[in-house]
Amino acid sequence: MKKLMLLFLLLTNIGLSAQQKLFHTYTDSVKLIKDANELATAFFTKVKLADASMTKVPQAILNTQPYLVFYTSENNAVNLPLWFQLNTDLQLFFSELSVGNKSEGKKIFGLFFNGFYIARELGHAVQFAKEKNNTNKYQGELFANTLAILFWRESANKKELEKCYNYVNSMLKILPDPVPAGENEEDYFNKNYQKLAHEPRKYGYIQFSQFKRIYEDKSLPGFIAYLKNYSLR
């Protein structure tokens, strides 16, 4: 009986491991790209229900850079990082977000940058296809973050999204607000975008504050309705 129970638990753990996709820290780049491409297909299947003109599905590629996760329009690609390829400063940044706990910082990285933010970059792909000349970086981030949150909220990863929200609340208590007193956050972000992109603490604060604002906005419609409204603008 004990042997059967152990076998059952072993098989269950193997099954859970095999099913776990995104929202964790990958070591296997092939698996990360495969899972991210499956997400891109699912994401754009929903996008096409709102806007049939959106036919080009971005492809995920491994490209670990200080920007972590980003969309490049020239090759229609979502660029993804691996934890062990990050430089020391970035790994320390994630430890800082978890009050010096390196293993917890690694978990935060996986949850957001091998998970949540992949959908955000797919949102940037939608935005580039519809309004490639839009120079308002803040509104661009707000749109992509909103689309990502609405997508994950309607997916099987709703619980992972909630974990992201809980971490966001903790991280916003750690990171200082970079916006000078009396200055508008959107204006500050747009004026300093290139500089902020190289300062993860400041850039992270604004990204996480957007996440919190969107997640808590009860007036938002569903993914398809939101995207239909966007396409009609």
In Å, how far from its chain's centre is CA 193? 18
Identify the pLDDT of residue 231. Answer: 74
Identify the pLDDT of residue 232. Answer: 61
**Residue found by looking up tokens 């569903």 in the block:** 222
Rounded to whole angstroms, the Cα distance separating 181 from 178 reads 9
CA distances, 223 to each of 8, 102, 153 (Å):
39, 35, 9
Number of H helices, E strands in the chain: 11, 3
Identify the pLDDT of residue 2. Answer: 43
Q: What is the pTM of this model?
A: 0.90
Rounded to whole angstroms, the Cα distance separating 155 from 141 reads 21
Identify the pLDDT of residue 233. Answer: 64
In a structure prediction context, what are the per-residue pLDDT tens digits for the chain, which is 233 residues long?
A: 444 443 333 333 433 333 569 999 999 999 999 999 999 999 999 999 999 989 899 999 999 999 999 999 999 999 999 999 999 999 999 999 998 789 999 999 999 999 999 999 999 999 999 888 788 999 999 999 999 999 999 999 999 999 999 999 999 999 999 999 999 999 999 999 999 999 999 999 999 999 999 999 999 999 999 999 987 66
CA distances, 29 to each of 47, 61, 104, 110 (Å):
26, 9, 21, 13
Identify the pLDDT of residue 157. Answer: 97
